[in-house]
Chain A
Amino acid sequence: MKQLRIVMVGDVDAGKSTILGRLLVDLGQVTPAKLAELESTSAKRGVAIEYSFLLDAFQLERDQAITLDLSRIWVRLPQRDLVFVDAPGHRELIRNLLSGASEVDAAIMVVAADEGITAQTRKQALFLHWFGFSEITVAINKLDLASDPKRAYETRRAEVEAFLAELGIQARAIVPVAARSGDGIVKAGPLTAWWNGPALLDALTGIPSRVPDPTAELRFVVQDVYRRDGKRFIAGRLDSGTMHVGQRIVFWPLQTSAEVTSIVNWPAQLDAARAGQSVAIELNSRIFVDRGAVASAVGHGPELGRALQATVVWLGATPASEGDSLRLRLGTREIPVTLQKIEHVVDHETLEPRPAETIGAGEVGVVAFVARESIAADAGFEASSLGRFVLMRDGAVVAGGRVDAVIGRAKGEGATNVIAMHSSVTAEERARRNGHRGGVFWLTGLPSAGKSTIAMAVQRMLFERGRHVYVLDGDTLRTGLNIDLGFSEEDRAENVRRTAAVAGVFADAGFAVITALISPNAQDREAARAAYPDGFFEIYISCDLSTAERRDVKGHYKRARAGEMVNFTGVSAPYDIPENPELVVDTVTHDIAESAAALLAFIEERILV
């Protein structure tokens, strides 16, 4: 039978480690040598036998008799292994509790009979609730300190029941124990002789393990793309549902689809993948797929939007404020988002929402984020792995969260403003007639990265579909409009400015404009955005220098290396890699057809009304 992973919560002195230590000793899983060591370690610190020393591995933990970080303790039983995740109860270590809670099947809350439900316990229970625990097991500990154990238990039981009911959590069992003496842990003892219910161990063994849900929607999260012997394999994990050879699947957020032609768990070929399985798949067509994508069954995709409403647990030292720039990680996708609104923070004393300007460390809040690109997500923890995410700031995880709702395109997007007011024909009217909006798709990348090639290929594809499209190619413009400009920093900036202005006019006229300029300077590119702020998309055509130089389509690298060309980007002039491009097309791992397909899908999604 599958092992059962259990997280233990409770205040710092509630006796979590003692319960675990006692469990190990009473089940005969501690060697006589280890028991002797425990006795001597305890004696050294002048205490009677301290069971928690079995678990608290750090010297500091033993010296202060506290648990510093998560521990995992294996308890082997004939029918199944129990793996306990012991989460420290200190206020500042909430992040450990969350880390522990995110990997387990069940939770035990330990309440000391002499203290009852403390502020810390309330807070931990609140987190368990948000982490999707609808049922927990409770141990009322330290009955050895009570003059009347039965009465002490009953008082606390009523308190616990009322509290859990408030949260909407069921108590699977509320068990009386005295961990120090072992009563009620593995079996009843003198202090719990009056109790008719199960001992703690019995209460735990019947809890079912959480398993990936094969009946849930198919969600295949793409981790990488590997090439072997000329074949392309899409590597990832089927987080939920089932997927079989011959099935047509849709990749999000681009919504391109293809049929699965093979499923590999190397070296085995499978007919189908099961929920939870890591596999690599092949497709029947060369659609663009990359890390960050997620596949679904046809007609059963995630929701798509530019904004999320979510419940977050803030972990960062610096509080979150409206307007903060963060990075959202959802599935294997990582994109920049802005914290648009803090709806409220939940007070852990009253459990009531209260308005707040910031969310501090350890607080739970309801918020809204917006992104510049589409996010594919599912609402709720239970729905799929696309319902939970983390937020990053400066490379560190600062929050965990649950998607509550996916909100459609941000209001007003694509609408015209300043420019349209000067024109007798509005952009909306043009869009209605053309069947699509205009936009500027600004390709940037090293020489020979593939900008012009991809731009020309996509222009053809869009034209065949009846779209109004035009390519502004850097080299071509330098033969006319920009003939007076060279390659100094100032001239490059002017080159970008003029091209952006022309692109803006074309876009305003309803065209999808694709520009193909090296445009090496990040500031110049940011300035170009102003030429058509409602529909400007920076697209990084990514290719490393050595590959680009090997291609050397125009022989320029060779000449630059020979010193015949000065200020040549990548050789003798810098290139600023875009920090937050709206799209990255990697032309090292993707060929021209795949790269063009990616850009085509991206443009279509943005211009179609």
Chain B
Amino acid sequence: MTSGFDDLDELESRTIFILREAFASLAPLAMLWSIGKDSTALLWMVRKAFLGEVPFPVVLLDTGMEFPEVYAFRDRLVDEWKLPVHNEPCPPESEVDPTLPPAGRHAARKTAGLRNLLAREKYRGIILGIRRDEQAIRAKERIFSPRNVDGSWDPRSQPPELWDYFSYDVPDGAHVRIHPLLHWTELDIWRYTQREGIPYVPLYLAKDGKRFRSLGESNITFPIASDADSLEKIIAELEQTREPERAGRSMDNETEDAFERLRATGYM
């Protein structure tokens, strides 16, 4: 098979390159799988990069509040793709910063779960499926983003990232976040999901005039009005919309700096 090399091929190749760099330079390594469209597409590319295998644990930071459809999808894929999955329960809300707004407190549970995971497993690299186009703070991320020992992120002193030379050196106890999907857009992800036939949680498809555009926990995520009940229609819808992707994620939108505060303390 000799084929053309289009936009999606280029995006995929870059992601595979990044995943292989992470695997070669950081150990132990794990990937966070939120089971949403992005991290599932990323998982697909992990299998491509490592010739059908997933050579590191795939972790769900579980607040117990995901939609039932999400848990069902996880179980199906773990079985079909033989995933080395790890379910990490997140601490209760009473253990997080009480000055955060309500939905933010909820999101902070995930940060706390991640912190526990890191402390216990001593991971030096954590792979995440965030994208620059989904949120203005995430747009400032590096592909390899070193974190402080306490897990915090200092966006004012990020290392230079020239060409494909990534920074992987962190002190003991600290870790590097690896973001292999930073250069993708929401539309790219759906086009790629469609082309590759990657499975996705059915909640993304419209039912009774509503669908989820971004999936978070059931108590802090709301559907948007939509009739897009197929991938083709989702893609057509996104080509038109001006609404931001995370409009249905209340944690981002409670106060002007809500997401900035979450990110600085270690949120994904």
Contact = CB atoms under 8 A, between A and B. Distances in A.
B13 A276 contact: yes
A390 B165 contact: yes
B52 A390 contact: no
Interface in B159-188: 159-165, 167, 169, 185
Given A57-B136, A237-B13, A278-B17, A271 B2 contact: yes
Given A270-B2, A395-B169, A396-B169, A99 B136 contact: no
Contact of A57 (B23, B137, B162, B169): B137
Given A266-B51, A277-B9, A70 B140 contact: yes
Contacts of B208: none
Contacts of A58: 137, 140, 155, 257, 260
B162 A280 contact: no
B208 to A, nearest CB: 24
> What band does the interface of chain B fall in when counting residues whose beta carbon is under 8 Å from A?
35 or more
Interface stretch (A220-228, A252-260, A564-572): A220-228
A291 B16 contact: no
A360 to B, nearest CB: 15
B229 interface: no
B50 A226 contact: yes
Contact of A400 (B23, B162, B167): B162
Interface in A74-110: 74, 81, 95-96, 98-99, 102-103
A329 B168 CA distance: 13
Contacts of A237: 13, 17
B156 interface: yes
A59 interface: yes
A415 B17 CA distance: 42
A98 B156 contact: no
A41 B159 contact: no
A407 interface: no
Contacts of A400: 160, 162-163
Interface in B1-42: 1-2, 5, 7, 9-10, 12-14, 16-17, 20-21, 23-24
Contact of A276 (B5, B51, B133, B161): B5
Interface string A529-573: 000000000000000000000000000000000000000000000
Contacts of B14: 278
A59 B12 CA distance: 34
A269 B3 CA distance: 12
Contacts of A152: none
Contacts of A228: 51-53
A480 interface: no
Interface in A322-354: 329, 332
B132 interface: yes
A68 B2 contact: no
A99 B50 contact: no
Contacts of B51: 226, 228, 233, 264, 266, 280
Contact of B156 (A28, A69, A81, A272): A69
Given A99-B142, A266-B51, A329-B165, A277 B1 contact: no
A68 B16 CA distance: 30
B137 A388 contact: no
A278 B16 contact: yes
Nearest to A101: B162
A537 to B, nearest CB: 25
Contacts of A267: 52
B60 to A, nearest CB: 24
Interface stretch (A29-37, A156-164, A467-475): A29-37
Contacts, number: 141
B152 interface: no
B7 A3 contact: yes
Contacts of A173: none
A73 B185 CA distance: 11
A70 B5 CA distance: 29
A95 B13 contact: no
A509 interface: no
A270 B1 contact: yes
A490 B24 CA distance: 38
Interface string B145-164: 00000000001101111111
A204 interface: no
B242 interface: yes
A68 B153 CA distance: 14
Contacts of A73: 139
B243 interface: yes
Nearest to B10: A276
A55 B169 contact: no
A280 B17 CA distance: 11
A268 interface: yes
Given A31-B243, A58-B137, A69-B155, A74 B185 contact: yes
A265 interface: yes
B133 A74 contact: yes
A226 B19 CA distance: 14
B210 interface: no
A295 to B, nearest CB: 16
B118 interface: no
A384 B10 CA distance: 17
B235 interface: no
B32 to A, nearest CB: 22
A274 interface: yes
A315 interface: yes
B242 A396 contact: no
A330 B74 CA distance: 40
B242 A397 contact: no
Contacts of A70: 139-140
A419 to B, nearest CB: 41
A72 interface: yes
Interface in A1-42: 2-3, 28-31, 34, 41
B53 A277 contact: no
20 contacts: A58-B257, A68-B140, A71-B136, A73-B139, A95-B159, A95-B160, A96-B160, A228-B51, A228-B52, A228-B53, A266-B52, A268-B1, A271-B1, A277-B5, A278-B14, A332-B24, A388-B162, A388-B163, A392-B169, A397-B160
Interface of B: 1-2, 5, 7, 9-10, 12-14, 16-17, 20-21, 23-24, 47-53, 132-133, 135-137, 139-140, 142, 155-156, 158-165, 167, 169, 185, 242-244, 256-257, 260
Given A69-B158, A388-B163, 19 more contacts: A41-B256, A57-B137, A57-B139, A57-B140, A62-B256, A74-B185, A81-B185, A95-B160, A96-B158, A223-B17, A223-B21, A224-B24, A275-B5, A277-B13, A278-B12, A280-B51, A332-B21, A389-B165, A400-B163
